[in-house]
Amino acid sequence: AEHQHTRYNPLRDDWVLVSAHRVKRPWQGQLEKPPAEDVPRWDPNNPLCPGATRANGEVNPQYEGTFIFPNDFPALQPDAPEPDDSDHPLFRAAPARGVCKVMCFHPWSDLTLPLMSLAEIRAVIDAWAELATELGASYPWVQIFENKGAMMGCSNPHPHCQVWASSFLPNEARLEDRTQREHLRQHGVPMLLEYAEQEAHRKERLVVENADWLVVVPYWATWPYQTLLLPRRHVCRLQDLSEGERDSLASIMKRLLIKYDNLFEVSFPYSMGWHGAPTGPHLEEDCRHWQLHAHYYPPLLRSATVRKFMVGYEMLAQAQRDLTPEQAAERLRSLPEVHYKEGNK
């Protein structure tokens, strides 16, 4: 806990430097602007609100639950042309096609996931699973991700996520496919199933748990309060979850996100996303090495205004963190599960 050391991340086949003593150093660097607390519930000029007009001239319906629409500025399009042939192995290109969608969680702009009801969160989970099934019928990879907060590059405070389906396996997917496949070959059990069992037993990095799920600060965490959300049983894809597992997922997500907000009493920024077995042409393959999981990557380190920067050594050598995963887990675990905005109601 007091001395620097490195930890191995078997999921990414890399290492992280842990330097717990560095969190004590004085900070005279960048101070972030806390998120606005006065977000209007409905704004006719916000393109994600019900009834608002988007950049392409389309008018949103008066939706009352989740709302899914094609991204008006997609990074991937289904009909992109083939790149030119390369004349040298150092200048390679490959086709990239896909579909990008935006999904609004709720019609209210001032209601983030931790403040939504369990039924409303369950509706989000069901919509995720439907999109994963629909897009995964033809595309090899469906990436569901949420960027929350301006600090994580989110340009709109309305609660929403994105879903990008691609004709290729992205880098992180290919890496996790390789490491999980190799672990199953060597040890005869899916890596993250074994890992979840170990963490449930050890408990030192456990944040929250229920009958179907657990959330840990992973042993190899890079970001200060990074967490990993894991099912207890072997599940390959989001759409494979049972009705009961979806209900308990809504519950554990709400508990985790309330703790995040309570840590610094701010709407906690993060990037999160689901990883599961590849789809499309891979649906007929043996994907037993995969275990469904969600990554949460929040940047805040010391307060609502001091973040962790991945620069210098991290960019040029390897990842480094300023407090141990055990310290981060203990702090998150000890936080109340009633949201600070609702504590006096």
**What confidence score (pLDDT) does residue 345 get?**
55
Evaluate if residue 31 carries a pLDDT over 70: no
Residue 134 in domain: yes
Evaluate if residue 45 carries a pLDDT over 80: yes
Evaluate if residue 30 carries a pLDDT over 80: no
Q: Name residue 144's beta-bridge partners.
A: 163
- Rounded (10°) CA dihedral 212, 290, 180, 223: -50
Residue 53 in domain: yes
Under the banding of pLDDT at 50, 70 and 90, the label for residue 1 is: low
Residue 23 in domain: no
Average pLDDT, stretch 17-25?
A: 75
181: which residues sit within 8 A by CB, 6+ positions away? 289
Residue 244 in domain: yes
Q: Which of the residues are catalytic?
A: 160
**What confidence score (pLDDT) does residue 25 get?**
56
Binding site annotation covers 24? yes
Binding site annotation covers 154? yes
Residue 60 in domain: yes
Q: 122-163, pLDDT tens digit by residue? A: 999 999 999 999 999 999 999 999 999 888 888 899 999 999
Q: Taking the CB of residue 330, how many other CB atoms lie within 10 A of it?
A: 15
Are the C-beta atoms of residues 174 and 166 closer than 8 Å to each other?
Answer: no
CATH number at residue 242: 3.30.428.10
Residue 87 in domain: no
pTM: 0.95
Residue 124 in domain: yes
Residue 309 in domain: yes
Tokens of 236: 């390959």
Binding site annotation covers 7? no
- Measured CA to CA in angstroms, residue 106 lies from 35, 145, 246, 335 at distances of 19, 16, 18, 26
Q: 263-316, pLDDT tens digit by residue? A: 999 999 999 999 999 999 999 999 999 999 999 999 998 888 888 889 999 999
Q: 166-194, pLDDT tens digit by residue? A: 999 999 999 999 999 999 999 999 999 99
Tokens of 109: 């702009």
d(Cα 83, Cα 335) in Å, to the nearest integer? 52
Binding site annotation covers 9? no
Q: 196-220, pLDDT tens digit by residue? A: 999 999 999 999 999 999 999 999 9
**What confidence score (pLDDT) does residue 309 get?**
87
d(Cα 3, Cα 167) in Å, to the nearest integer? 45
* Max Cα-Cα span within the chain: 67
Binding site annotation covers 225? no
**What confidence score (pLDDT) does residue 29 get?**
59
Evaluate if residue 32 carries a pLDDT over 70: no
Binding site annotation covers 176? yes
The domain containing residue 274 runs over which residues? 40-81+93-335
The total of structural domains in the chain comes to 1
